[in-house]
């Protein structure tokens, strides 16, 4: 497995390069966002480990650039910034998971395995189309269309809507959605799920058919 580590702190990068190399991973280091951007232009990786606070091009800007260019390599953020707002912002920009510093090395290995396994399984699916009524998702192209007209979703909106579509005709609780879409155990009192459901609803046309149903006191449901 090939891993790109984007980290400017030499002490941390040396520790991670040594530990992950000994664990059998092929490591490449970029000590700035600019270097990471150049490397990603030439080489492909199985996963990107990224700090946020980088000199010049920071982790948030780099994540936006990576996703804008259609690169959906899993991004695991490793950052000393550990507030819920920081985590939500990075995940909204397209990161897949977030691990706060300091962390246990064994947990890092587990997160890497989980993300790469999930990514590999998504590519192994034979049917890369999900549909409900007049809405179709092409999971290979990360493209959502309604009546053949493309709907522009943010990375998080896309992940949320895809998760609901993958579980069509099944009621999903807010806790399930938080865990599977945001990948982090947030305080259950957060209203981020409801906020993003409203974002998605505002972008789809439900005049012909109700797509997203609210199950009072439980969560949400997409059904035919």
- Walk across the sheet containing 47-50 and list its strands: 26-30, 2-6, 47-50, 75-79, 97-100
Q: How confident is the model at residue 209 (pLDDT cuts 50, 70, 90)?
A: confident
Coil, strand, or helix at residue 32? coil
Cα 120 to Cα 1, 60, 61, 123, distances in angstroms:
12, 25, 26, 5
Task: Give the residue range(s) of CATH 3.40.50.2300 domains in the chain.
Answer: 2-122
Nearest of 156, 167, 43 to residue 92 by alpha carbon:
156
User: Positive or negative CA dihedral for 168, 194, 133, 139?
Assistant: negative
- Residue holding tokens 């599977």? 180
| Residue 160 confidence (pLDDT) above 80 | yes
Peptide bond into 161 cis (omega under 30): no
Structure tokens at 42: 């030439």
Please tell me the predicted confidence (pLDDT) of residue 70.
82
Percentage above 90 pLDDT, the chain: 61
Coil, strand, or helix at residue 30? strand
Measured from the Cβ of residue 108, the count of other Cβ atoms closer than 10 Å reads 18
| Residue 208 confidence (pLDDT) above 70 | yes
Q: What is the pLDDT of residues 54-71, one digit of tens each?
A: 989 999 999 999 998 888
Assign a CATH topology to domain 129-222.
Answer: Arc Repressor Mutant, subunit A (1.10.10)
How many CA atoms does the CB half-sphere of 85 hold within 13 Å?
A: 0
Q: What is the pLDDT of residues 106-156, one digit of tens each?
A: 999 999 998 888 766 555 444 678 889 889 999 888 899 998 899 999 999
| Residue 47 confidence (pLDDT) above 60 | yes
Mean pLDDT of 27-35: 95
Mean pLDDT of 77-99: 89
Coil, strand, or helix at residue 182? helix
In CATH terms, the superfamily for domain 2-122 is Response regulator (3.40.50.2300)
| Residue 51 confidence (pLDDT) above 60 | yes
| Residue 187 confidence (pLDDT) above 70 | no
Task: Give the residue range(s) of CATH 1.10.10.10 domains in the chain.
Answer: 129-222
């Amino acid at each position: 497995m090939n891993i790109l580590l984007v980290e400017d702190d030499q002490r941390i990068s040396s520790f991670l390069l040594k530990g992950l190399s000994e664990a059998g991973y092929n490591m490449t280091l970029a000590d700035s966002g600019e270097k990471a951007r150049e490397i990603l232009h030439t080489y492909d990786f199985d996963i990107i480990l990224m700090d946020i606070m980088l000199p010049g091009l920071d982790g948030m800007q780099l994540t936006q650039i990576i996703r804008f260019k259609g690169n959906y390599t899993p991004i695991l953020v490793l950052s000393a910034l550990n507030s819920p707002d920081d985590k939500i912002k990075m995940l909204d920009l397209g990161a897949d998971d977030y691990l706060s510093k300091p962390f246990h090395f064994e947990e890092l290995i587990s997160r890497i395995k989980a993300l790469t396994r999930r990514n590999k399984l998504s590519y192994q699916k034979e049917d890369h189309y999900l549909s409900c009524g007049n809405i179709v998702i092409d999971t290979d192209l990360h493209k959502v269309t309604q009546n053949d007209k493309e709907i522009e979703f943010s990375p998080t909106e896309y992940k949320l809507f895809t998760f609901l579509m993958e579980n069509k005709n099944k009621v999903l609780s807010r806790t399930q959605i938080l865990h599977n879409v945001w990948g982090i155990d947030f305080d259950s009192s957060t209203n981020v799920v409801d906020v993003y459901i409203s974002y998605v609803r505002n972008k789809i046309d439900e005049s012909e058919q109700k797509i997203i149903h609210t199950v009072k006191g439980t969560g949400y449901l997409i059904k035919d």
